[in-house]
Amino acid sequence: MRSVTRFSAVLLGLATLVAMGCTSKPPDSTDAVGDAETNETETNEGETNDAKTGEAETNEAETNEAKMIVEKKSFGKTEDGTEVDHYTLTNDNGLKVGIMTYGATITSVDVPDRDGKFANVTLFRDSLAKYIEDSPYFGCVAGRYANRIAKGKFTLDDKEYSLTINNGENHLHGGTVGFDKLVWKAEPNFEADGSVSVCFSLTSPDGDQGYPGTLTSTVTYSLNNDNELKMEYTATTDKPTVLNLTNHAYWNLAGAGSGDILGHELTIVADRFLPVDAGLIPTGKLDPVADSPMDFTKPEKIGARIDQVEGGYDHCYVINESDDEGLTLCARVVEPTSGRAMESRTSQPAIQLYTGNFLDGKISGGGVDYQKHFAFCLETQHYPDAPNQPDFPSTVLRPGEKYSEVTVHKFTVQEK
């Protein structure tokens, strides 16, 4: 069994974020972290993703007082020899979230059903090599610009920029080599609120995929004992640019690879959505969802009307504004057989519903070929193609400004 580096939450205090970077050493925590470390054994590029198969060392508390931990292990190397690390966050309730530095990618989210049985509820690939070979953005951070930019062009301050084209005639999820295909730096953090987290950071140079400005980004994944998985995004730039970050997890609350998600009951707190053209570029209109198959304002099975939507759901919903302080409730999903439920809140103005329409059985994980509609995505974000749509909320980031967005997914169980 390979050795891991384990960080215990005992005696650890506030984690800090310094100058857009990450640090894992809270005040007076040197001894606690140092005593928990062990040597790692390197793995090769094709190593099996043991975080899903259960072969990795058990994430047990080292004392009864310290169940919340972060584990770190090697996940392999990229083709150019860059080491990729894998982190597992575990809370006191046994929930586990796996994340690797390649793409700041979530590889697993293990949550219980109403009988206490745990299952990974997000699609995954079995090894780093498989992620590199072919992964339709499973669990990654999509950027610099999540979703589509029409024809890969936009104008900012009277200058036109041309981006890489990778989706028909359009630019998708940051281009040919987006943030999903880069290795991020990572540091484990222990928050004052009792959550455990890992902060990932990445610097994208001026001109990367055609975007202006050197962009420094972080995403922090944290897990608390309320069974909330928080994703916090920050970024700064040295030139005016556009930015739209999201996480692209593929969810199946019955368990990854268990079948399609058409029986999941979905609520989206949105009275309007963005209609799209044949290339899935917004037309510029905001249409009401009422009296249409786009309406999820009340719980509805995902598959109830999907046949009425050409190609399946791949649409951006405008989240209803709320007078409540803090994050806005945007979606809730229940898988009725297992009872697993996920509630999502965000600071973002929109959420993209995607129902795995392009999965075709050619990609697998855990010995299962992922077929059409084997997962759904709920990608909190700004509007697609906003750089070319002046009536949409702006996605421009300028020097001296700080991009900051938060999304929280809370996992619960609905009793019969």
Question: Which residues are tagged catalytic?
Answer: 248, 379
* Contact between 293 and 306 (Cβ < 8 Å): yes
Alpha carbons 141 and 108: distance in angstroms, whole number = 14
Q: What is the DSSP letter of 320?
A: P
Alpha carbons 412 and 416: distance in angstroms, whole number = 13
Alpha carbons 61 and 334: distance in angstroms, whole number = 30
b/e sequence 75-89, b meaning 16+ C-beta within 10 Å = bbbbeeeeebbbbbb
* Contact between 87 and 98 (Cβ < 8 Å): yes
| 48 Cβ contact list (under 8 Å, min separation 6) | 55, 126, 127
Compute CA 262 distance to the chain's CA centroid, rounded to the nearest angstrom.
Answer: 21
For residue 21, count other CB atoms closer than 10 A to its CB. Answer: 14
Q: Which residue has the tokens 């990932």?
A: 200
Alpha carbons 294 and 313: distance in angstroms, whole number = 8
Alpha carbons 21 and 200: distance in angstroms, whole number = 8
Helix (H) or strand (E) holding 51: helix 50-53
Please say whether the dihedral angle defined by the alpha carbons of residues 11, 17, 178 and 280, taken in this order, is positive or negative. Answer: positive
Q: What is the DSSP letter of 376?
A: B
Query: Concatenated DSSP letters for 72-103?
Result: EEEEEE-TT--EEEEEEEE-TT--EEEEETBT
**Residue 30, phi then psi, degrees to nearest 5:** -55, -45
